[in-house]
């Protein structure tokens, strides 16, 4: 399978726009997959987007940024667990899909090792299990810590849960192991155990597991380890991370033999082969064996066997040059597309969902499948009534791959994006160049209600003390609050009757709500939850217009005169305030007594940083670099892209690179994030 992309045809400006869209999509989907165990798209679709971004960055190196999804692994760890810093990063692998990709991989390896064409490389090959990658740390032979991969640098501490897995040794066997030994492996749920668990759960009327991969990942992320212990989990170990005495063997295959001697479970299907033909022969063998295995796999992993050769080949930013994953093709079937419905997510995104004539594919009966977005519907030329190909990419998420146009009936109907939200009837906004359409009724839409209220009450918004996420969810579930304005109409009896609340705590919350009525215009604008309007943009809007009425009345052209507000953000703001339902909520909030001190507008030359030029580099904790740029511009400063002798200061976050070096060479003051926040304050 080859991944095609239009990147070769894009100008730099068009490529930059497409790269920005891919950044947002890939970060979102990585978070859904790695942190929530609830992916929205198939692996094949993620791989396509990832490959497209890689191609764009290869053709336009200036677009390769430090926060690109191609420069990282996975997503940030969940806050419910303590964080663990991996002493050696847990990197992921690049993917291959066709025999030609593997032949090219073998050629790159031989060229990197400067081997003659007559000499074959020794590889180790093994199944690519579909579970959750973990790190096991043994000290003096005793298991002291287990962690998830997380973002590759930092994972989640799941030691208590991992200790409940019978195949994980709590103490190593034999002798000769180093004082510190960190082992990497994959925790998975055997298919027999998965089926037995679901049958038992169904008999009890309990919720069943969606699939073995999500079952394994969800089990390891249980806060109650007794739940984990009740789940049928197993592990196969596949590599060594840290070893205090140096490498435990001279090759990967020999290191696995030593791990097995110490009581660690190794997949029996792993073996040594030579050359590209050996890799492809094993891929064919495992593909034939796949249906007979008691665990899910989605491909094969190939690794150069000798450690000295691995070290010589080294790494790229995201993955080793000496290893690659060869993915199996997705499983597909034909069925009929009965209808398309649009679901509204927590952020207002409208997702088209295919309602299908039930079909058995990839081991399950599929009646619903994602269509991703309207761009994909158009690209795949999908009509209601079509015969479509349904794919379970990665054996997990069903998707409609394409329609079979040759079988299209005469009465087939095109799929149309609704003009109004199917949940709240607010206007649907779709920005040109963006794939996702969204409901603009963020303050009133039931699908977005909980997230909108949580944001409204958050620390950087109205900062309502005591109004946490669980309390917001309870208020919404009980029907007490439908919009932010309803918060300020709550009565003591209503609040005190909520779970874990009483008269005193209820009164404290009402007092906090009363105190929150006095705020600032930037905080109020930020609290409304307008798309892409962060703290800095809210401050820029307030400083530019001076009052709420002027912001609400501004058209897209006027909004683009605000520092760092481009056409996309301007459209979001204008669409938000053009929605009558949002206007009604804003009016209701003002009627409840929300107020702020008047803003004294300053001429540009009177701004505190007028005439100053700054450059921003690295990763900031409290805001994005674009928000930081807007904040400095709102204070009258100019923000440049490169450091020169005329630069007044470099704002440096984490992982600052060449710009920091140049600033130090030129004697340009280096400023930290605390300085930036002080200027904004």
User: Tokens 């396509």 label which residue?
Assistant: 48
Q: How far is CA 92 from CA 132, 149, 330, 477, in A?
A: 12, 9, 20, 40
Q: Token digits for 588?
A: 């209701």
Cα separation, 311 vs 305, whole angstroms: 11
Cα separation, 434 vs 569, whole angstroms: 12
Cβ distance 53 to 22 under 8 Å? yes
Q: Token digits for 271?
A: 């073996």
Beta strands 142-148 and 132-139 are antiparallel
Cβ distance 134 to 147 under 8 Å? yes
Backbone phi and psi for residue 384, each to the nearest 5 degrees, phi listed first: -70, 130
User: Tokens 């703290």 label which residue?
Assistant: 535
Catalytic, 482? Answer no
Cβ distance 45 to 39 under 8 Å? no
Cβ distance 108 to 321 under 8 Å? yes
Cβ distance 402 to 333 under 8 Å? no
Residue 183: enclosing H or E segment and its boundaries?
strand 180-188
392 by DSSP, 3-state: which?
Answer: strand
Largest CA distance in the chain: 84
Residue 362: enclosing H or E segment and its boundaries?
none
Mention every residue, 6+ apart, whose C-beta is less than 8 A from residue 469: 454
Beta bridge partners of 143: 138
Cα separation, 371 vs 399, whole angstroms: 6
SS3 content of the chain, % helix, strand, coil (to 5): 40, 20, 40
652 exposure class (CB count in 10 Å sphere: 0-12, 13-18, 19+)? buried
Residue in 24, 107, 128, 327 annotated catalytic: 128
* Positions marked active-site: 128
């Amino acid at each position: 399978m080859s991944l095609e992309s239009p990147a070769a045809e894009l100008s730099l400006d068009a490529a930059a726009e497409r790269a920005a869209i891919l950044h947002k999509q890939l970060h979102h989907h990585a978070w859904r997959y790695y942190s929530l165990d609830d992916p929205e798209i198939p692996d094949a679709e993620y791989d396509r987007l990832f490959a497209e971004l890689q191609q764009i960055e290869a053709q336009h190196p200036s677009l390769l940024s430090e926060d690109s999804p191609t420069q990282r692994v996975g997503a940030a760890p969940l806050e419910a667990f303590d964080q663990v810093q991996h002493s050696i990063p847990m990197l992921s692998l690049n993917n291959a899909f066709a025999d030609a990709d593997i032949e090219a991989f073998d050629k790159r390896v031989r060229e990197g090792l400067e081997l003659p064409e007559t000499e074959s490389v020794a590889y180790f090959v093994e199944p690519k299990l579909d579970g959750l990658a973990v790190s096991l740390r043994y000290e003096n032979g005793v298991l002291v810590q287990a962690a998830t991969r997380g973002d590759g640098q930092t994972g989640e501490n799941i030691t208590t849960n991992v200790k409940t897995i019978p195949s994980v040794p709590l103490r190593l066997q034999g002798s000769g192991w180093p004082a510190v030994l960190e082992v990497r492996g994959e925790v998975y749920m055997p298919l027999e155990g998965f089926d037995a668990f679901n049958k038992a759960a169904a008999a009890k009327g309990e919720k069943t597991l969606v699939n073995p991969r999500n079952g394994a990942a969800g089990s390891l992320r249980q806060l109650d380890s007794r739940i984990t212990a009740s789940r049928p989990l197993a592990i196969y170990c596949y590599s060594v991370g840290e070893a205090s005495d140096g490498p435990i063997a001279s090759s990967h295959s020999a290191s696995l033999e030593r791990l097995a001697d110490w009581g660690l479970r190794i997949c029996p299907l792993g073996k040594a082969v030579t050359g590209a033909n050996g890799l492809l022969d094993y891929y064919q063998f495992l593909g034939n064996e796949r249906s007979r295995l008691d665990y899910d796999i989605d491909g094969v992993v190939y690794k150069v066997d000798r450690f000295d050769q691995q070290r010589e080949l080294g790494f790229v930013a995201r993955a080793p040059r000496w290893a690659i994953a060869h993915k199996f093709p997705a499983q597909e079937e034909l069925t009929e597309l009965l209808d398309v419905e649009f679901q509204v997510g927590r952020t207002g995104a409208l997702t088209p969902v295919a309602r299908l004539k039930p079909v058995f594919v990839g081991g399950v009966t599929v009646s619903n499948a994602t269509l991703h977005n309207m761009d994909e519907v158009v690209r795949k030329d999908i009509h209601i009534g079509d015969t479509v190909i349904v794919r379970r990419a990665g054996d997990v998420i069903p998707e409609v791959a394409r329609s079979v146009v040759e079988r299209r009936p005469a009465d087939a109907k095109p799929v149309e994006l609704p003009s109004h939200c199917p949940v709240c009837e607010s206007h649907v906004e779709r920005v040109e160049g963006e794939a996702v359409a969204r409901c603009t009724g963020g303050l009133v839409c039931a699908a977005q209600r909980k997230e909108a209220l949580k944001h409204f009450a958050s620390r950087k918004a109205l900062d309502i003390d005591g109004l946490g996420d669980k309390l917001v969810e309870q208020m919404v579930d009980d029907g007490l609050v439908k919009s932010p304005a309803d918060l300020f109409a709550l009565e003591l009896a209503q609040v005190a009757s909520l779970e874990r609340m009483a008269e005193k705590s209820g009164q404290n919350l009402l007092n906090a709500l009363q105190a929150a009525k006095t705020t600032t215009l930037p905080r109020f604008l930020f609290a409304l939850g307008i798309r892409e309007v962060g703290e800095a943009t809210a401050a820029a809007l307030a400083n530019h217009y001076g009052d709420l009425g002027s912001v609400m009345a501004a058209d897209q052209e006027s909004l683009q005169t605000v520092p760092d507000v481009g056409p996309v953000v301007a459209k979001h703001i204008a669409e938000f305030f053009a929605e009558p339902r949002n206007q009604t909520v804003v009016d209701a909030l003002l009627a409840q007594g929300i107020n702020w001190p008047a803003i004294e507008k300053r001429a540009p030359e009177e701004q505190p940083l007028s005439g100053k030029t700054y450059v921003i580099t690295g990763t900031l904790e409290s805001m994005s670099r674009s928000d930081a740029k807007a904040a400095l511009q709102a204070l009258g400063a100019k923000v440049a892209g490169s450091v020169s002798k005329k630069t007044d200061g470099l704002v440096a976050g984490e992982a600052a690179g060449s710009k920091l070096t140049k600033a130090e060479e030129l004697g340009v003051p280096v400023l930290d994030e605390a300085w930036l926040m002080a200027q904004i304050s």
